[in-house]
Amino acid sequence: FWPAWHGITFFTLCLLYFVLYCGPNVATFVLPVISYPCEVRSTFHGLSAAAAKIGAMAGALLFPMINDVFGTAAVMATQAAICAAGA
């Protein structure tokens, strides 16, 4: 690369690493493969998918009702509490 591009290249790589490491890491996908047999993994992948769908449905149904009754601040507080409980 040309010397003038070093700053742009560095910024692009920093942005790439930030985006890649904000989500699930490689250990999220590799560790279960090493630790658990296929039957256990497939069962819990199904349970995880079902829980995600139930959570999405509950959020889609409950958050508009909470917003209508208590307002946007209550919706944000509810979301924060659910996130804190999940962590």
pLDDT in tens, 20-56: 777 777 667 777 778 888 888 888 888 888 988 998 9
pLDDT at 14 exceeding the cut of 60: yes
| pLDDT value for 53 | 93
- Look at the pTM and tell me if it is higher than 0.75: no
Percent of all residues in the chain with a pLDDT value above 90, rounded to a whole number: 38
Question: Among residues 19, 82, 20, which one has the least CA distance to residue 51?
Answer: 82
pLDDT at 30: 76
Alpha-carbon distance of 14 to 43, in angstroms, equals 37
Residue 81 confidence (pLDDT): 93
| Long-range pairs for 5-10: beta carbons < 8 A, 24 or more residues apart | none
